[in-house]
Amino acid sequence: MKVYGITNCNTVKKALDWLKANHVAYEFHDFKKLGISPEKLHEWDSKAGYEKFMNKQGLTWKQLDPGVKESIKTKEDALKLLQQKTSMIKRPVIEAGDFLFFGFDEGIYKGELL
């Protein structure tokens, strides 16, 4: 299982704490240190749609120049921006086999990861 996120995100911290408490092994991929490949973003988009993991509620989106926000017209525009501004990816991203989930939800984690 692979967990993508950033270490200073409270939601990522909650998810990692839950995984540790439930003895679920994982590999952590830090967006800030390692970035994210265009291929991985396209893979997530093909499985879930970029709208599912592009966080427009967070500070990074809210602080964007209005012109940049308005320039996001296509999937490719969105994925390019997400690669440049990884803090806009809803976190954590959990990949476990066919399971792909964005965010933390204890009920879903219990049902899918235990």
Task: Determine the pLDDT at residue 64.
Answer: 94
Task: Determine the pLDDT at residue 15.
Answer: 98
- Number of domains observed in the structure of the chain: 1
* Residue ranges making up the domain that contains 60: 2-113
CA 50 to chain CA centroid, Å, is: 10
The residues that bridge with 29 in the sheet, in sequence order, are: 4
Q: What is the pLDDT along the chain (114 residues), one digit of tens a residue?
A: 999 999 999 999 999 999 999 999 999 999 999 999 999 999 999 999 999 999 999 999 999 999 999 999 999 999 999 999 999 999 999 999 999 999 999 999 999 998
DSSP string, the chain: -EEEE-TT-HHHHHHHHHHHHTT---EEEEHHHH---HHHHHHHHHHH-HHHHB-SSSHHHHTS-HHHHHT--SHHHHHHHHHH-GGGB-S-EEEETTEEEES--HHHHHHHH-
Task: Determine the pLDDT at residue 5.
Answer: 97
From residue 55, give the alpha-carbon distance in Å to each of 39, 43, 44, 111. Answer: 19, 17, 14, 24
Query: Which residues are marked as active site?
Result: 9
CATH of the domain at 10: 3.40.30.10
